[in-house]
Amino acid sequence: TAATKQAKPSGRRPGVVNIETEQSLNGTRAAGTGIVLDPSGLVLTNNHVIQGATEIKGTDTDNRRTYAARVVGYDRTGDIAVIRLTGASRLKAAVFASAAGVAVGDTVTAVGNAGGKGGAPTVVTGKVTALEQAVTARDDTNGTSERLSGLIETSAPIRPGDSGGPLLNTAGKVIGINTAASAELTMDGSQPRKDHRGYAIPSDRALEVAGRIRRGEASSTVHIGPTAMLGVKVRSNGGSPGALVAEVVPGAPADAAGIPVGAAIVSLGGRPVDSSGALTALVLAHRPGDVVQLEWTTPQGALTSATIRLAEGPPQ
């Protein structure tokens, strides 16, 4: 309605968490934002905020307490994750609204841990500039990219660190999860934009995935609980089958089995590995502690196998 479009920005609302992660496997730290789903410490965020994290901390910006956090589950393709703040209680939960009524021109407010500096969240405002947008977000730290569609586009100047934070309507209700900014995107079929745009996952979709995670409903896209780890970084093997081992994590199961850099992993648990993505998916289907048969070809071409026990590793 015209009244909604002219309404004043909501300002900050309760239920925002500053997230800090440590990635000990590559010696980096990262930061993002989360949204409190319930008073007991369940928090919604983007999967890319916690991806690769070996340690996660969340600071509730209302009570200013910092908690250790663990991953409840995540959806890599939808870029949604749910974490739990250990020992949290009586937190102020965010209030959600359906994004179905959102229209171009609506005033919106984005709240988050801009720049990863912690402390009081940054609050920026803008307007909805488009709906149902598709973008490809690239992660320079690990060379991966993800395609997301059905997003809300806004002129609110979100920055790195804002990922996982709330996009609010003028009533202060969460209508989206801020996920990416135009600076870090490849736009579909168009030149990079000169004017800044932010992109948010609609609240309805985020809550649907979060509900599946909370209920423990694993699927081909939703991973529940701790993540199994083989302990290799792999890439494409050119035109040959298998996943080419680019790096072996010291002390991890692959290292203990004697898999060398330059080997090509060709099967796991009796299932063929035809690409690096296939290996990731096969490992994610297992749990830490599972014993699996692994086959690889050495750089000299000899086929070798070993039985290994998967360790617990960071979320993917």
* Rounded Cα–Cα distance for residues 268 and 265 (Å): 8
In which residue ranges of the chain is pLDDT below 50?
Answer: 1-5, 141-142, 186-187, 189-193
pLDDT at position 2, please? 45
Angle at 200 between CA 103 and CA 55, to 5 degrees: 160
The model's pLDDT over 136-160, given as tens digits with 9 standing for 90+, comes to: 876 554 455 678 999 999 999 988 8
- CATH class, range 1-225: mainly beta
pLDDT at position 240, please? 84
Catalytic-role residue among 79, 203, 267, 276: 79
The first and second tokens of residue 131, run together, are 């709906």
Catalytic-role residue among 10, 48, 203, 276: 48
Domain spans of the chain, in order of start: 1-225, 226-313
CB within 8 A of 69, min separation 6: which ones?
19, 43, 56, 57, 58, 83, 84, 85, 86
pLDDT at position 24, please? 79
pLDDT at position 4, please? 46
Query: Known catalytic residue: 305?
Result: no
Query: Known catalytic residue: 163?
Result: yes
* Rounded Cα–Cα distance for residues 11 and 37 (Å): 19
pLDDT at position 194, please? 56
pTM recorded for the entire structure:
0.86
Amino acid occupying residue 216: G
pLDDT at position 187, please? 47
Catalytic-role residue among 10, 106, 162, 163: 163
pLDDT at position 97, please? 97
Query: Known catalytic residue: 79?
Result: yes
For domain 226-313, give the CATH number. Answer: 2.30.42.10
The model's pLDDT over 283-310, given as tens digits with 9 standing for 90+, comes to: 988 999 999 999 999 999 899 999 999 9
Amino acid occupying residue 138: R
**Is the Cα dihedral 241, 247, 253, 254 positive or negative?**
positive
